[in-house]
Amino acid sequence: MTAHTFQGASSRDYTYLMLPWSQLQGIPRQAANYILAAGTPLSPEPVWISEAHRLYAFFEANPRLWDIAQAKHSARLFYIRAEPGQAARLAEREDLIRSYLPPMDDRVPPER
């Protein structure tokens, strides 16, 4: 798997693994932060940064999220970073959102 390090506004580094989105069954059934990104694996541009208590269940319940990210922002890359602690996931998400200012914000429901 390909990995990429994203830097938060705090200058802290977070290493994420890139997964193929086409294989939903490969998405872990664990707590994690995730990034949908445009660009290339060597230079990803975050479009959506969020966290989920059970990553697989989140995407199973929200399949349009990826469609919107692809159609509106050319997202083609999917990154995850496992993190069991909710407080740590939320702090990391906020740090990365402040750094990258992604056009889709997980704190605002996506347009249908």
Bridge partners, residue 34, by sequence: 50, 80
Confidence label for 112 from pLDDT (cuts 50, 70 and 90): very low
The pLDDT tens digits for 87-108 are 999 999 999 999 999 999 866 5
pLDDT at 37 > cutoff 90: yes
pLDDT on residue 29: 81
